Structure 1
Amino acid sequence: MDDIPGQLPPKLNADFNPDRPAKSRQGRRLQRIREEIERNRTEGPKYPTWLLALVLVLIIAFFALIVIYA
């Protein structure tokens, strides 16, 4: 029981340090967002852009063929 009755909790942004693990729920959420952004910046895309474009063209061509021959 180290909580002293009547003592106010510390403010969320009073001593913000991004290198220290966050204690509050909002701080942990912001930390996870920062980590995800950093991961996305350092890692490359999972699939090459040309492959995604090719798949999109094939899907559109498939639907066009269905409309034309239906």
Structure 2
Amino acid sequence: MYDEPDQPEPRPRSFPKADFNPDRQKTTRQGRRLQRIREEIERNRTEGPAIPTWILALALVVIVGGFAAIVIFSDG
């Protein structure tokens, strides 16, 4: 018969090294971005909204009501 050629040695798969230590500061661009996101989330949780929600809701009602009044009472 015929001889099959030798197969090359299988190379082990190389997986990216992940650093899951949150105490160690990361120097990569992605690490700095994640750190900024964490800081912003923490800031948002502690400070609260700049404008109270009821004022935003009232402004929305005034805008929608004004638009509805224009549509309803327009001479068109």
The TM-score with structure 2 as length reference comes to 0.68
Name the residue aligned to 1:67: 71
> Aligned-pair RMSD on alpha carbons?
1.7
Relative contact order higher in (CA < 8 Å, ≥ 6 apart): 1
**Aligned pair partner of 1:43 in 37, 41, 47:** 47
Say which one has the larger Rg: 2
- SS of 1:19's equivalent in the other structure is coil
Any unmatched runs of 5+ in structure 1? 1-9
Counterpart CA distance in 1 for 2:60 and 2:25 is 42
Any unmatched runs of 5+ in structure 2? 1-15
Q: Following TM superposition, where does structure 1 have runs of at least 4 consecutive aligned residues deviating by more than 2 angstroms? A: 16-21
The CA deviation at 1:49 is: 1.0
**Aligned pair partner of 1:18 in 6, 17, 22:** 22
The TM-score with structure 1 as length reference comes to 0.73
What is the CA deviation profile of residues 26-49 of structure 1, one whole-angstrom value per residue up to 9, with x for unaligned ones? 111110110011001111110111
